[in-house]
């Protein structure tokens, strides 16, 4: 996979204008964008339609965690918009994940990814909600559940990419948020990594936000990310 295809830029904005500005500035440098709950709520589905019409791929990060029927309906709506990836929360269990996978079958380009453990969470956070397992153990447990339910891949931290790749095999998608260039702050992510480290460990895609969108020169930042990824691709 080419380095450009691996990079997903997170449009973590609270308004359409800011998102449009970064999309225009990046132009052909970026082909894949993540739209999360904040921007979807602020801008609505028209932004997604706009991105798809421009030939971009869209990762719609909904983290669906509802009754199976509602999850299936949301996945069908995402497929109708033309998105490439949509997320479901694997902690909802097999029935919820399987409902998402079944709903996606009518949309051949749509990939269902299961969120394992949110990258801001630590082992102590899991203990707080009654889960007596470390984050890495819980990620692997939920990744296996997702794979058995038919998911195309998982969302996980860069630090768990290697064991997940070993567990899920070569064809699974492993999408890693919490990625930043060396020396940059990972923000709210408790288990971060660099582009090179994430891909070298087995990530198929990396998600970057502030590294690109808050840079003085987003195009130059994107080129630095691709150069870092190129190192990983040459050594993998």
Active site residue ranges: 63
How far CA 212 is from CA of 18, 192, 216, in Å, comes to 13, 16, 9
The first and second tokens of residue 181, run together, are 């260039």
Coil, strand, or helix at residue 106? coil
> 178 CB contacts (<8 Å, ≥6 apart)?
119, 157, 158, 186, 187, 189, 190, 191, 192, 193, 207
Coil, strand, or helix at residue 122? coil
Helices (H) and strands (E) in the chain, counts: 12, 8
> 189 CB contacts (<8 Å, ≥6 apart)?
119, 120, 157, 177, 178
H or E, element range at 84: none
The first and second tokens of residue 192, run together, are 């971060």
Contact 95, 59 (CB under 8 A): no
Rounded to whole angstroms, how far apart are CA atoms 48 and 117?
Answer: 26
H or E, element range at 99: helix 94-104
Rounded to whole angstroms, how far apart are CA atoms 161 and 140?
Answer: 10
């Amino acid at each position: 996979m080419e380095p450009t295809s691996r990079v997903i830029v997170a449009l973590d904005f609270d308004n359409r204008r800011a998102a449009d500005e970064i999309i225009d500035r990046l132009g052909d440098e970026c082909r894949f964008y993540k739209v999360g709950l904040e921007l979807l709520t602020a801008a609505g589905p028209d932004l997604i339609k706009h991105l798809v019409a421009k030939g971009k791929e869209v990762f719609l990060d909904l983290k669906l965690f509802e009754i199976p029927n509602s999850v299936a309906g949301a996945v069908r709506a995402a497929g109708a918009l033309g998105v490439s990836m949509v997320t479901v929360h694997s902690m909802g269990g097999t029935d919820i994940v399987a409902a998402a996978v079944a709903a996606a079958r009518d949309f051949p380009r749509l990939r269902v990814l299961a969120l394992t453990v949110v990258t801001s969470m630590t082992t102590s956070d899991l203990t707080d909600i009654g889960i007596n397992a470390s984050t890495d153990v819980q990620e692997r447990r939920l990744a296996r559940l997702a794979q058995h339910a038919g998911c195309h891949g998982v969302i996980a931290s860069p630090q768990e990419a290697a064991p997940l790749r070993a567990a899920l095999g070569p064809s699974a998608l492993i999408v890693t948020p919490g990625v930043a260039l060396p020396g940059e702050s990972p923000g709210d992510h408790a288990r971060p990594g660099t582009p090179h480290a994430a891909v070298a460990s087995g990530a198929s895609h990396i998600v970057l936000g502030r590294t690109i969108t808050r840079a003085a020169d987003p195009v130059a930042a994107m080129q630095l990310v691709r150069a870092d990824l190129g190192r990983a691709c040459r050594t993998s």
